[in-house]
A = this chain, B = another copy of it.
């Protein structure tokens, strides 16, 4: 029952097993006849090369790991698709790991991939892990950060300018005429909440508006979504006229909560998100947002990883740390304020 090996084939073909190896790998120096015979037997035996054994000797697994926090947020699958595509072109397969916003799981997966001796790892960290932690988990395995870069890392990364994007989003809301513009953090936004909140605050203060904590809704214990937060804000009587949500999924949730409380979007509450996940563009939704070049993020991270694998040098330096530009996408949910119609 155990699958056939190269030796079984060798025996059946009456050659040494090194000849079989050569034939199967299409290497020079095998007689056409023998080669033919070997292929026939291999097919007949249903031979499947043992990649484990191959990897052991070649020290190359032709596999890369992709560690993502949440495949359930459509943003990540889009990035994954970009990675897949690019990896495919290089003949690499992708081992996708979902950490589910669990720090321990993240570490476990990084370690695991290193143990499996993948050729490299692309990871979207869930928090600002100290570099040594990552290093400890992956050892010498090449790593590229995607979607976010830990502070002062020397590793290659591809991300977008979160601060800038958040500034643009907030600014847009202000320009639309809203006097009170709030921020809502994601339940599991991990690392991105810091720069996004920061960009929000910058825009607020640049506009000469007083930064007001009451309009900043960060998830508290027991709150699991943007909907919970907006409902809290409403019940506390400090719901702003416009909101910048940390990401589109949160924005959706916020809108759901607001609508459940009888608020209309954007008439009573304007909303803008971040990411531009596919559903944001749906007619029925029309969520204004900051677009991230998701597939591109994926593609580029593979490219950076390839460089690192091939050179096998630590390969530091600017050109390997890419910051992409965000893009403002205006849709329905951030329609202009109507000052003639004061709230309530």
Interface residues of A, Cβ cutoff 8 Å to B: 1-3, 46, 48-53, 55-56, 59, 61, 63, 71-72, 74, 77-78, 80-81, 84, 88, 93-98, 100, 105, 109, 111-112, 114-117, 136, 139-140, 252-253, 255-257, 259-260, 265, 278-279, 282-285, 312
- With both beta carbons as reference points, the residue of chain B lying nearest to A54 in the complex is identified as B115
Residues of B within 8 A of A78 (CB): 72
Residues of B within 8 A of A48 (CB): 111, 114-115, 139
Give CA–CA (A164, B301) in the complex, Å: 44
Instruction: State how many copies of this chain the complex holds.
Output: 2
- Would A72 and B81 count as touching, CB distance under 8 A? yes
Which listed residue (B52, B97, B140) contacts A55, Cβ 8 A?
Answer: B52
A-B contact pairs, 23 of them (CB 8 A): A1-B140, A48-B139, A50-B56, A51-B115, A52-B52, A52-B55, A52-B116, A52-B117, A56-B56, A71-B77, A71-B80, A72-B77, A72-B278, A74-B74, A95-B95, A252-B284, A253-B282, A255-B282, A255-B284, A256-B282, A256-B284, A257-B283, A284-B284
- Would A46 and B136 count as touching, CB distance under 8 A? yes
Residues of B within 8 A of A52 (CB): 52, 55-56, 61, 116-117
- With both beta carbons as reference points, the residue of chain B lying nearest to A105 in the complex is identified as B88
- With both beta carbons as reference points, the residue of chain B lying nearest to A4 in the complex is identified as B139
Give CA–CA (A257, B80) in the complex, Å: 27
Residues of B within 8 A of A59 (CB): 2
- Would A284 and B283 count as touching, CB distance under 8 A? no
Shortest CB distance A224–B (Å): 13
List 16 additional A-B contacts (Cβ < 8 Å) besides A46-B139, A252-B279: A2-B140, A48-B115, A50-B115, A51-B115, A52-B56, A52-B117, A63-B116, A71-B80, A72-B74, A74-B74, A81-B98, A88-B105, A252-B282, A260-B283, A284-B284, A285-B285
- Would B100 and A81 count as touching, CB distance under 8 A? yes
- Would B279 and A51 count as touching, CB distance under 8 A? no
Which listed residue (B96, B116, B278, B283) contacts A97, Cβ 8 A?
Answer: B96
* Pairs of residues from A and B, 3 with the lowest C-beta to C-beta distance, nearest first: A96-B96, A51-B115, A256-B283
Shortest CB distance A243–B (Å): 15
Shortest CB distance A239–B (Å): 16
Give CA–CA (A74, B74) in the complex, Å: 7
